[in-house]
Amino acid sequence: MMKDMENRPSWSSQFAFIISTIGSAIGLGNIWRFPYIMGKNGGAIFLIIYLILILFICSIPLLAELILGKISQKNTLGAYCSINPKFEAFGWLNVISTIMISSFYFVVGGWVIYYILKSFTLNQITDFGQYFTNFVSGTYTPILFTLFFLFICIFFIYRGVNQGIETANKIMMPALGVLLIVLVAVSLNLPNAHLGLKFMFSPDFSEIDFSMLLAALGQALFTLSIGMGTILTYGSYLKKEDNIAKSAFTIIVADTIFAILAGVMIFPAVFSFGLQPDSGASLVFITLPKIFAQMQYGGLVALGFFFLLFFAALTSGISIVEVPVAVMIEKFNISRKKAAAIMFAIIGLLSVPVTLSFSALKDFKILGKTLFDLFDFTTANILMPVSSMIVCLVVGWCLNLANDYVFKSKTLHNIFIFMMKYILPILFIILIITGLMG
C-alpha cells in the first residue's frame, strides 16, 4: 500500500513548528556544555564570537536543512533522493548518525531520571564522585533507566507529530522556561554570586585563537541540532507557505538566551559554594548535587533542576528519534506505531552496550575510546560536520532557489546562496580535519 502525500503529517501551526524546533535545539548541550565552554574560552569574548558564528554561519546549514525538508516534504532519505537518487546515501548517513547519537544521549537521559528520584536524598551522600561512579558502573540500574527514557521518547513519537511531538513541546518548553527563571533567581541570590558571573562574562581577549573559533563553531552546530536530518525532518512537516527565515532567527535567539541563562544558573552557585567549575557529566552529576545537598530547600531545587534537564533532554531526544522513524514510515510504508516499536528495539539494543561502557565494557576500547566516547566523538566531530557540509552543497548547487526567496532582500538572498555554495563547505572541511585530529 502506498501512503499518499495526503496522509503525511504537518504542524498544526507555525508556532508548533517553532516551539518543537526550539525543543530540539535546547538540550543537554545548552546546560552542561555551553556554559563551561564559554567560561573556559574567555567568557564574554567567546560569547561575542559565538553569537556572530551562530547568527551568520550556523544559520546557513540550519536554513539549508529547513529548505530541503520544506521543498521536498519528505523524510531525510526521500528528500535527498528527490534531488538525485544517487544521493540516497546522504539520507542513510543521517539515519546512522541519529541512531548513534541517541544511544549515548539516552544513557545520559537515564541518569537524569535516576537523579530526579534521588533529589530529596542527596543530603545523605558523603562522596558525590564515588556515588556517581557507583551508579553508572552498576549493570542493571543504568540500563533500566536508559530504556525508560527511551520508552518515554518513543511514546510521544508513537502518538504522532500533532498529538505527540507538538503536545510534548507545548507543555514541556514553557515548563522549562519557568523552571530556568526560578533557578536563575535562586542562584543569583546566593552569597558571592557575582564571582560566577565574573567567570562567565569577564572578557579575556588573549583567549581568541583558532581552537576557540572551532570550539564555538562545533558547539553552535550541536546546539542547533544541525547535521543529523533533525531540522530537515521537522522542516518537512511545514506547509509550503510558511516563512522559514523568521523561524530560524527565533530558534537561534531562543536557544542562545537559554544557553546563557543556563550559565547564569550554574556558575554563581558553583562559585558561591567555593567549588571549581567542571564540564559535562561531573558538573551536572557531581558538582551540582554537592551544592544542592548543602543548600536551603536543596531537595526542591535539585528536583527542579533535574526536571529541567529531563525536559530539555526529552524534547531533543524526540527530535532525534523522529528522523529514523520518518524514514521507516515513508520508505518502507509501515505505520508510525510499527516504526516507533522497531526503533525502540534497535536503539534499545544498541544503548545496552553503550550503557555498559562504564561497567562490564569499561575496558572494551575501539581507537582508545569506550563505546560511549566513541559514539560521542564520531557523531560530534565527524558525522555532524560531514552532513552539514553535504546539506549546504546539495541545497546550494542542486536546488534552484532563484524563484524561491528565503529572504525578502535580493542581496541577502544572494549572499546566503554564495555562503552556502562556497564558504560553508570550506569551513566544514577545516572543522572535520581538526576534529579528526582532536
Q: Which residues bind ligand TRP (CB under 6 A)?
A: 24-25, 27-30, 222-223, 225, 227-228, 230, 316, 319-320, 384
The owner of cell 548535587 is: 289
Q: Please report how close the Cβ of residue 299 comes to ligand TRP at its closest, in angstroms.
A: 26
Q: Please report how close the Cβ of residue 255 comes to ligand TRP at its closest, in angstroms.
A: 8
Q: Which is nearer to ligand TRP, 272 or 387 (CB)?
A: 387
For residue 110, what are the contacts with CB-CB under 8 A and spacing of at least 6?
Answer: 142, 143, 144, 145, 146, 147, 148, 149, 355
Q: Please report how close the Cβ of residue 384 comes to ligand TRP at its closest, in angstroms.
A: 6
For 13-50, letters b (16+ CB in 10 Å) and e give ebebbbbbbbbbbbbbbbbbbbbbbbbebbbebbbebb
Q: Please report how close the Cβ of residue 223 comes to ligand TRP at its closest, in angstroms.
A: 4
Q: For 145, which DSSP code?
A: H
3-state helix, strand and coil shares in percent for the chain, rounded to the nearest 5 = 80, 0, 20
Q: Return the half-sphere exposure (C-beta side, CA atoms, 13 A cut-off) of residue 180.
A: 24
Q: Please report how close the Cβ of residue 402 comes to ligand TRP at its closest, in angstroms.
A: 30
* C-alpha dihedral (282, 94, 256, 431), degrees to nearest 10: 80
Cβ atoms of residues 291 and 270 within 8 Å? yes
Q: Please report how close the Cβ of residue 264 comes to ligand TRP at its closest, in angstroms.
A: 17
Q: Which is nearer to ligand TRP, 29 or 69 (CB)?
A: 29
Q: Which is nearer to ligand TRP, 295 or 314 (CB)?
A: 314
Q: Please report how close the Cβ of residue 219 comes to ligand TRP at its closest, in angstroms.
A: 9
Cβ atoms of residues 303 and 120 within 8 Å? yes
**Alpha-helical segments (H) within 119-243:** 128-136, 140-158, 167-188, 193-201, 210-223, 230-236
Q: Which is nearer to ligand TRP, 30 or 103 (CB)?
A: 30
How many residues in total does the chain contain?
438
User: How far, in Å, CA of 253 to CA of 192, rounded?
Assistant: 29
Q: Which is nearer to ligand TRP, 39 or 298 (CB)?
A: 39
Q: Please report how close the Cβ of residue 297 comes to ligand TRP at its closest, in angstroms.
A: 28
Which residue type is seen at 169? N
Q: Which is nearer to ligand TRP, 222 or 285 (CB)?
A: 222
Q: Which is nearer to ligand TRP, 41 or 230 (CB)?
A: 230
User: What phi, psi does 366 have (nearest 5°)?
Assistant: -115, 130
Q: Which is nearer to ligand TRP, 21 or 355 (CB)?
A: 21
Cβ atoms of residues 305 and 127 within 8 Å? no
